[in-house]
Structure 1
Amino acid sequence: MLERLGSQFETASAGYAGAHGIERDADWFILKIQEQLGELTQVWNKLSGRGRRHGKSTEELTALMADETADLLGHVLLFAHHHKLDLPAAIERKWRFQATL
Protein backbone atom coordinates (compact mmCIF):
# COMPACT_ATOMS: atom_id res chain seq x y z
CA MET A 1 0.00 0.00 0.00
CA LEU A 2 2.81 2.44 0.82
CA GLU A 3 4.46 1.67 -2.51
CA ARG A 4 1.24 2.53 -4.35
CA LEU A 5 0.82 5.73 -2.35
CA GLY A 6 4.45 6.64 -3.07
CA SER A 7 3.83 6.07 -6.77
CA GLN A 8 0.79 8.34 -6.68
CA PHE A 9 2.82 11.11 -5.02
CA GLU A 10 5.58 10.52 -7.60
CA THR A 11 3.15 10.98 -10.49
CA ALA A 12 1.77 14.19 -8.98
CA SER A 13 5.21 15.56 -8.09
CA ALA A 14 6.79 14.74 -11.45
CA GLY A 15 3.89 16.41 -13.26
CA TYR A 16 4.16 19.53 -11.10
CA ALA A 17 7.95 19.66 -11.49
CA GLY A 18 7.68 19.28 -15.26
CA ALA A 19 5.06 22.00 -15.55
CA HIS A 20 7.12 24.44 -13.47
CA GLY A 21 10.64 23.57 -14.63
CA ILE A 22 11.75 22.18 -11.27
CA GLU A 23 14.79 19.90 -11.27
CA ARG A 24 14.27 17.04 -8.84
CA ASP A 25 17.82 15.82 -8.26
CA ALA A 26 18.89 13.62 -5.32
CA ASP A 27 19.30 16.63 -3.01
CA TRP A 28 15.85 17.99 -3.85
CA PHE A 29 14.09 15.05 -2.16
CA ILE A 30 15.79 15.50 1.23
CA LEU A 31 15.66 19.30 1.06
CA LYS A 32 11.89 19.22 0.47
CA ILE A 33 11.44 17.12 3.62
CA GLN A 34 13.33 19.77 5.58
CA GLU A 35 11.30 22.57 3.96
CA GLN A 36 7.98 20.89 4.73
CA LEU A 37 8.98 20.14 8.32
CA GLY A 38 9.83 23.83 8.71
CA GLU A 39 6.43 24.84 7.36
CA LEU A 40 4.66 22.42 9.70
CA THR A 41 6.70 23.73 12.63
CA GLN A 42 5.75 27.29 11.71
CA VAL A 43 2.04 26.45 11.83
CA TRP A 44 2.49 24.58 15.12
CA ASN A 45 4.23 27.61 16.59
CA LYS A 46 1.25 29.78 15.65
CA LEU A 47 -1.23 27.31 17.13
CA SER A 48 0.74 26.92 20.35
CA GLY A 49 1.15 30.65 20.96
CA ARG A 50 4.80 30.81 19.92
CA GLY A 51 4.17 32.69 16.69
CA ARG A 52 1.90 35.36 15.24
CA ARG A 53 -1.36 34.08 13.81
CA HIS A 54 -1.73 36.86 11.23
CA GLY A 55 -5.49 36.92 11.89
CA LYS A 56 -5.98 33.18 11.30
CA SER A 57 -8.43 31.32 13.52
CA THR A 58 -7.65 28.08 15.33
CA GLU A 59 -9.76 26.24 12.75
CA GLU A 60 -7.85 27.78 9.84
CA LEU A 61 -4.52 26.97 11.43
CA THR A 62 -5.61 23.41 12.21
CA ALA A 63 -6.58 22.93 8.56
CA LEU A 64 -3.23 24.41 7.52
CA MET A 65 -1.47 22.03 9.92
CA ALA A 66 -3.23 19.11 8.22
CA ASP A 67 -2.14 20.46 4.82
CA GLU A 68 1.48 20.78 5.91
CA THR A 69 1.41 17.30 7.48
CA ALA A 70 0.12 15.94 4.16
CA ASP A 71 2.96 17.73 2.36
CA LEU A 72 5.52 16.29 4.78
CA LEU A 73 4.10 12.78 4.39
CA GLY A 74 4.13 13.15 0.61
CA HIS A 75 7.75 14.21 0.57
CA VAL A 76 8.81 11.40 2.90
CA LEU A 77 7.11 8.95 0.52
CA LEU A 78 8.74 10.64 -2.49
CA PHE A 79 12.14 10.30 -0.80
CA ALA A 80 11.51 6.60 -0.13
CA HIS A 81 10.23 6.06 -3.69
CA HIS A 82 13.21 7.84 -5.26
CA HIS A 83 15.69 5.78 -3.22
CA LYS A 84 13.70 2.54 -3.62
CA LEU A 85 13.40 2.09 0.14
CA ASP A 86 11.28 -0.76 1.47
CA LEU A 87 9.20 1.17 4.01
CA PRO A 88 6.90 -1.71 4.98
CA ALA A 89 9.94 -3.82 5.91
CA ALA A 90 11.50 -0.91 7.78
CA ILE A 91 8.26 -0.27 9.69
CA GLU A 92 8.12 -3.90 10.68
CA ARG A 93 11.78 -3.81 11.84
CA LYS A 94 11.54 -0.49 13.66
CA TRP A 95 7.94 -0.37 14.89
CA ARG A 96 7.31 -4.13 15.11
CA PHE A 97 4.02 -4.23 13.20
CA GLN A 98 2.92 -4.75 9.62
CA ALA A 99 1.75 -1.55 8.01
CA THR A 100 -1.71 -1.77 6.45
CA LEU A 101 -3.56 1.26 5.16
Structure 2
Amino acid sequence: MLSELIQQFETASATYAADNGLERDDDWFVLKLQEEMGELTQIWNKTTGRGRRRGMSDEQLATALADETADLLGHVLLFAHRNGLDLAAAVERKWCFRPRGD
Protein backbone atom coordinates (compact mmCIF):
# COMPACT_ATOMS: atom_id res chain seq x y z
CA MET A 1 0.00 0.00 0.00
CA LEU A 2 2.69 2.52 0.94
CA SER A 3 4.79 1.82 -2.15
CA GLU A 4 1.69 2.19 -4.34
CA LEU A 5 0.84 5.51 -2.69
CA ILE A 6 4.40 6.74 -3.18
CA GLN A 7 4.21 5.86 -6.88
CA GLN A 8 0.93 7.74 -7.26
CA PHE A 9 2.46 10.86 -5.70
CA GLU A 10 5.59 10.44 -7.86
CA THR A 11 3.52 10.28 -11.04
CA ALA A 12 1.44 13.32 -10.08
CA SER A 13 4.51 15.33 -9.06
CA ALA A 14 6.51 14.45 -12.18
CA THR A 15 3.56 15.40 -14.38
CA TYR A 16 3.09 18.71 -12.54
CA ALA A 17 6.81 19.49 -12.82
CA ALA A 18 6.89 18.70 -16.54
CA ASP A 19 3.76 20.77 -17.21
CA ASN A 20 5.24 23.76 -15.34
CA GLY A 21 8.88 23.52 -16.41
CA LEU A 22 10.16 22.68 -12.92
CA GLU A 23 13.38 20.81 -12.22
CA ARG A 24 13.00 18.39 -9.33
CA ASP A 25 16.62 18.15 -8.19
CA ASP A 26 17.68 16.84 -4.77
CA ASP A 27 17.29 20.25 -3.12
CA TRP A 28 13.81 20.74 -4.56
CA PHE A 29 12.47 17.78 -2.58
CA VAL A 30 13.65 19.03 0.81
CA LEU A 31 12.77 22.64 0.03
CA LYS A 32 9.22 21.59 -0.87
CA LEU A 33 8.95 19.90 2.53
CA GLN A 34 9.89 23.18 4.19
CA GLU A 35 7.47 25.14 2.00
CA GLU A 36 4.57 22.81 2.69
CA MET A 37 5.28 22.76 6.44
CA GLY A 38 5.17 26.55 6.38
CA GLU A 39 1.82 26.51 4.59
CA LEU A 40 0.43 23.97 7.07
CA THR A 41 1.67 26.11 9.97
CA GLN A 42 0.05 29.20 8.47
CA ILE A 43 -3.34 27.50 8.21
CA TRP A 44 -2.95 26.02 11.70
CA ASN A 45 -2.28 29.51 13.07
CA LYS A 46 -5.44 30.80 11.41
CA THR A 47 -7.44 27.82 12.66
CA THR A 48 -6.30 28.28 16.25
CA GLY A 49 -6.74 32.07 16.36
CA ARG A 50 -3.02 32.88 16.12
CA GLY A 51 -3.31 34.30 12.61
CA ARG A 52 -5.70 36.42 10.60
CA ARG A 53 -8.50 34.41 9.04
CA ARG A 54 -8.90 36.84 6.13
CA GLY A 55 -12.59 36.05 5.91
CA MET A 56 -12.17 32.27 5.90
CA SER A 57 -15.03 30.33 7.47
CA ASP A 58 -14.47 27.40 9.83
CA GLU A 59 -15.32 25.05 6.95
CA GLN A 60 -12.81 26.74 4.62
CA LEU A 61 -10.13 26.53 7.29
CA ALA A 62 -10.83 22.83 7.88
CA THR A 63 -10.60 22.17 4.15
CA ALA A 64 -7.37 24.16 3.86
CA LEU A 65 -5.90 22.32 6.85
CA ALA A 66 -6.68 18.96 5.25
CA ASP A 67 -5.30 20.13 1.89
CA GLU A 68 -2.03 21.36 3.38
CA THR A 69 -1.66 18.16 5.41
CA ALA A 70 -2.12 16.16 2.20
CA ASP A 71 0.54 18.29 0.50
CA LEU A 72 2.96 17.67 3.34
CA LEU A 73 2.27 13.93 3.30
CA GLY A 74 2.85 13.81 -0.44
CA HIS A 75 6.14 15.65 -0.18
CA VAL A 76 7.36 13.46 2.69
CA LEU A 77 6.70 10.43 0.50
CA LEU A 78 8.38 12.07 -2.50
CA PHE A 79 11.43 12.94 -0.40
CA ALA A 80 11.68 9.37 0.84
CA HIS A 81 11.32 8.00 -2.68
CA ARG A 82 13.95 10.36 -4.11
CA ASN A 83 16.41 9.35 -1.39
CA GLY A 84 15.75 5.61 -1.56
CA LEU A 85 14.42 5.47 2.00
CA ASP A 86 12.54 2.38 3.12
CA LEU A 87 9.67 4.01 4.96
CA ALA A 88 7.91 0.74 5.70
CA ALA A 89 11.00 -0.51 7.56
CA ALA A 90 11.39 2.84 9.29
CA VAL A 91 7.77 2.79 10.44
CA GLU A 92 8.30 -0.71 11.78
CA ARG A 93 11.41 0.41 13.69
CA LYS A 94 9.97 3.67 15.00
CA TRP A 95 6.24 2.88 15.39
CA CYS A 96 6.41 -0.88 15.97
CA PHE A 97 4.10 -1.93 13.15
CA ARG A 98 4.52 -2.71 9.46
CA PRO A 99 2.26 -0.83 7.03
CA ARG A 100 -0.15 -3.25 5.35
CA GLY A 101 0.76 -4.33 1.86
CA ASP A 102 4.47 -3.51 2.24
TM-score scaled by structure 1?
0.97
Aligned residue pairs, count: 101
Residue-by-residue CA offset, 1:33-89 (whole Å, 9 max, x unaligned): 110000000000001000000000111001000000000000000001111111010
* Separation of aligned partners in 1, 2:75 and 2:100: 19
State the Cα distance separating 1:3 from its structure 2 match. Answer: 1.1
* Separation of aligned partners in 2, 1:54 and 1:76: 29
- 2:84 matches 1:84: yes
What amino acid maps onto 1:83 in structure 2? N
Point out 4+ residue stretches in structure 1 off by more than 2 angstroms. Answer: none
Q: How much is the aligned-residue C-alpha RMSD, in angstroms?
A: 0.9
**Which residue of structure 2 aligns with residue 4 of structure 1?**
4
State the Cα distance separating 1:100 from its structure 2 match. Answer: 2.4
* Separation of aligned partners in 1, 2:6 and 2:38: 22
TM alignment of 1:40-79, pairs within 5 A: 40-79=40-79
* Separation of aligned partners in 2, 1:59 and 1:35: 23
* Separation of aligned partners in 2, 1:13 and 1:38: 19
Where does the alignment leave 5 or more consecutive residues of structure 2 unmatched? none
**Identity over the aligned pairs, expressed in percent?**
65
**Which residue of structure 2 aligns with residue 94 of structure 1?**
94
Q: Helix, strand or coil for the counterpart of 2:54?
A: coil
The 8 Å contact of residues 3 and 81 in structure 1, kept in 2 or not, is answered as no
**Which residue of structure 1 aligns with residue 30 of structure 2?**
30
State the Cα distance separating 1:25 from its structure 2 match. Answer: 0.2
